[in-house]
Chain A
């Protein structure tokens, strides 16, 4: 039986479009079947062994990929949880010296991240969604649409640090050399967020079935009413997930914000004046300063001091950032899945 299968597949292999073609040395070379079933059995055992081995390799490689995830989360959790407290979340780093108590917090970084990310999305979400609507609903093949689509493709490859340099250099030209504030950071992030928003919302809008558009138009709706009442409403979950996923992408951006928004110790709510701390920049800054200085042992007995405090603060801030990103991602994926289920349903 097995002999028959092998022979027929061998002839197929010679036609050149079969799986045997990849392993020619394993094909029975001769038509003469005198070479007994034994060779064929050992052959198939070898193939089975090889398959088993490769299966193991593949499964092990997937298991190895899990290790860094577990390690990163475990380290952030175990090393960050010690500093994570209401105090840590509500205080900034003003007047925190060396490793002595009080240890300071990340309020300024959280407020900066929320403000910069929020304003960026306030600008990018409507712009990106409107652009996607124009491309998909009004002029799919017009020159403008094609230009925007290829511009999006180009800009989605911009190195993030170059976006930061662009914003910095632009504002150096516009409002004096060395202008660094929250809004420069917003411009830098806008360069990174806009392509993502346009791409994903274009996908969401184009998933709306044409039958819905036709029904609305057939009922006498004007095109703008059709878009607002039918297309936007149907695509809403997809658009929401586009915005949330873009937030998740830019909230962790470090390099452009270090250049454009700067690093600072005190809380700054003003987007247009003065440097503004963000969570990723805080993490990098705490790490890069290394060990904290502690006073001599005698004084240290009176006042708690931890030379490792900067690394601990970095991990605590990393834990907060991971949680933020994870929440945004989970919500974004959840909404996206619901929207896909909904569109399939309709």
Chain B
């Protein structure tokens, strides 16, 4: 903003109102964080005190916090990992089609599809996943198991119905595709067309042009979008709750049911049976999830900031070379 504005006469009442709103927002957010940490801290710090809560919540099968939290963290990370692996190629492919291949109506239609995907509430994804995808995908999972069963991920006995990590991962992937696709698309659209034309003029095929010009230019945005999608997948509750048949354990057999559970789905599943202490324990697991997604988001913002900086740097360089180029002919 222009510094001259600072000198203009202030109107205290209006300023006080908006400043008050600002302080209220900050106080509210601070209250949320402080309250959650206060409820979670005793559970997370004292190992013995939580034993009783744990045994009531898990009917005596788990006695230490690490034993309870470990599989949940593992399951959360595994589900998000599966979702990312599936989502990235499709999302980046869609972003490329929208930004580099399609024009006019096709481009608008594809963008609308992505917007629709982003708009569908998670409970509907869950409903669709468990009632449509799970029955329909059984054949594919047994195919994977038969021919790629030597890979640990696909080994074991295929669950029927496929209320497995694999199905949950597919639905999570569909949910995060719009996040990755929209951000990547916007970055790809900003690649200067002269750069692309230059590559094509030098004899590059379209794919080589994409590899050489479009992808490097959008790299940081794609990375950031992937991390943001990861953040969404980590915290997703309903789809996992409805699809995955839960259990507490460390298993990477994606096609077997009753192997893992995620933190968020575990909270939703156990909340109805939890007493006051149990709620404290669930809040503690939720805070662990919050910390994980906070770290992921922080890294994403770092990536975005670094990308912007290097873009500015490049733009400045380009500007400088253009100016020196203008000076040369003389």
Which residues of A pack against B, CB within 8 Å?
A: 2, 5-6, 9, 12, 18-19, 21-23, 47-48, 50-51, 54-55, 57-62, 64-66, 68-69, 71-73, 75-76, 126-128, 130-131, 133-138, 140, 144-145, 147-148, 151-163, 165-166, 168-170, 172, 177, 190-191, 194, 198, 210, 213-214, 217, 222-225, 227-228, 248, 251-255, 258-259, 280, 283-284, 287-288, 311, 314-315, 318, 321-322, 325-326, 329, 333
Q: Which residues of B contact A255 (CB under 8 A)?
A: 237-238, 241, 264, 267-268
Q: How far is the CA of A329 from the CA of B212 in the complex (A)?
A: 36
Q: Which residues of A contact B293 (CB under 8 A)?
A: 157-159
Q: List 19 A-B contacts (CB under 8 A).
A: A19-B209, A51-B206, A62-B90, A64-B90, A65-B114, A69-B117, A153-B297, A159-B290, A159-B293, A161-B237, A161-B286, A190-B28, A194-B25, A217-B5, A224-B14, A248-B119, A253-B121, A254-B237, A280-B123
Contact A254 B121, beta carbon cutoff 8 Å: yes
Please choose the segment from B15-23, B50-58, B322-330 that sits at the chain A interface, where 4 or more of its residues have CB less than 8 A away: B15-23
Q: Would you call the interface of chain A mostly helix, strand, loop, or mixed? A: helix
Q: Which partner residue on chain B sits nearest A23 by CB separation?
A: B208
Q: Given that A50-B207, A159-B289, A255-B264 are known contacts, is A311 also in contact with B234, CB under 8 Å in the complex?
A: no
Partner of A160, one of B29, B124, B237: B237
Contact B279 A168, beta carbon cutoff 8 Å: yes
Partner of A159, one of B15, B130, B286: B286
Q: How far is the CA of A213 from the CA of B6 in the complex (A)?
A: 12
Contact A284 B21, beta carbon cutoff 8 Å: no
Contact A62 B32, beta carbon cutoff 8 Å: no
Question: B26 contacts the other chain (Cβ, under 8 Å)?
Answer: yes
Partner of A225, one of B11, B177, B205, B296: B11
Q: Which residues of A contact B290 (CB under 8 A)?
A: 157-159, 162
Q: Which partner residue on chain A sits nearest B287 by CB separation?
A: A162
Contact B123 A284, beta carbon cutoff 8 Å: yes
Q: How far is the CA of A54 from the CA of B30 in the complex (A)?
A: 49
Proximity bits, B111-126, A CB within 8 Å = 1, else 0: 0011111011111111
Kindly provide the distance from the CB of A330 to the nearest chain B CB, expressed in whole angstroms.
9
Q: How far is the CA of A69 from the CA of B111 in the complex (A)?
A: 12
Kindly provide the distance from the CB of A294 to the nearest chain B CB, expressed in whole angstroms.
20
Contact B123 A162, beta carbon cutoff 8 Å: no
Question: B273 contacts the other chain (Cβ, under 8 Å)?
Answer: no
Kindly provide the distance from the CB of B94 to the nearest chain A CB, expressed in whole angstroms.
4
Partner of A18, one of B116, B177, B212, B241: B212
Which residues of B pack against A, CB within 8 Å?
A: 1-2, 4-5, 8-11, 13-15, 17-26, 28-30, 32-33, 35-36, 39, 89-91, 93-94, 96-98, 101, 110, 113-117, 119-128, 130-132, 174, 177, 181, 199, 202-209, 211-213, 231, 234-235, 237-238, 241-242, 263-264, 267-268, 271, 276, 279-280, 282-283, 286-287, 289-290, 293-294, 296-297, 301
Q: How far is the CA of A275 from the CA of B22 in the complex (A)?
A: 31
Kindly provide the distance from the CB of A3 to the nearest chain B CB, expressed in whole angstroms.
11
Contact A75 B18, beta carbon cutoff 8 Å: no
Q: How far is the CA of A323 from the CA of B246 in the complex (A)?
A: 32
Give the residue among B127, B131, B241, B279 with the most A Cβ atoms within 10 A.
Answer: B127
Contact B276 A130, beta carbon cutoff 8 Å: no
Kindly provide the distance from the CB of B285 to the nearest chain A CB, expressed in whole angstroms.
9
Contact B32 A134, beta carbon cutoff 8 Å: no
Q: Number of residue pairs across A and B with beta carbons under 8 Å?
A: 289
Q: Which residues of B contact A58 (CB under 8 A)?
A: 93, 96-97, 101
Q: Which partner residue on chain A sits nearest B203 by CB separation?
A: A5
Contact B25 A128, beta carbon cutoff 8 Å: yes
Contact A133 B110, beta carbon cutoff 8 Å: no
Q: Which partner residue on chain A sits nearest B10 by CB separation?
A: A223
Q: Would you call the interface of chain B mostly helix, strand, loop, or mixed? A: helix
Given A58-B96, A214-B4, 5 more A-B residue pairs with CB atoms under 8 Å apart are A61-B89, A159-B263, A162-B287, A177-B276, A321-B124
Q: Which residues of B contact A326 (CB under 8 A)?
A: 116, 119
Contact B211 A135, beta carbon cutoff 8 Å: no
Q: Which residues of B contact A314 (CB under 8 A)?
A: 127
Q: Which residues of B contact A147 (CB under 8 A)?
A: 26
Contact B11 A155, beta carbon cutoff 8 Å: no
Q: Which partner residue on chain B sits nearest A195 by CB separation?
A: B29
Contact B199 A19, beta carbon cutoff 8 Å: yes
Kindly provide the distance from the CB of B66 to the nearest chain A CB, expressed in whole angstroms.
21
Contact A222 B11, beta carbon cutoff 8 Å: yes
Q: How far is the CA of A264 from the CA of B84 in the complex (A)?
A: 36
Contact B207 A170, beta carbon cutoff 8 Å: no
Partner of A130, one of B17, B33, B116, B267: B17
Q: Which residues of A contact B1 (CB under 8 A)?
A: 136-137, 140, 210, 213
Q: Which partner residue on chain A sits nearest B263 by CB separation?
A: A159
Q: Which residues of B contact A135 (CB under 8 A)?
A: 22
Q: How far is the CA of A251 from the CA of B123 in the complex (A)?
A: 11
Q: How far is the CA of A213 from the CA of B9 in the complex (A)?
A: 14
Q: How far is the CA of A61 from the CA of B232 in the complex (A)?
A: 22
Contact A133 B18, beta carbon cutoff 8 Å: yes
Partner of B97, one of A23, A62, A75, A283: A62
Q: Which residues of B contact A73 (CB under 8 A)?
A: 116
Q: How far is the CA of A134 from the CA of B19 in the complex (A)?
A: 6
Contact B113 A217, beta carbon cutoff 8 Å: no
Q: How far is the CA of A249 from the CA of B283 in the complex (A)?
A: 23
Q: Which residues of A contact B204 (CB under 8 A)?
A: 19
Kindly provide the distance from the CB of A171 to the nearest chain B CB, expressed in whole angstroms.
11
Q: Which partner residue on chain B sits nearest A321 by CB separation?
A: B121
Q: Given that A140-B1, A161-B235, A172-B279 are known contacts, is A223 also in contact with B120, CB under 8 Å in the complex?
A: no
Q: How far is the CA of A61 from the CA of B95 in the complex (A)?
A: 10
Kindly provide the distance from the CB of B175 to the nearest chain A CB, expressed in whole angstroms.
10
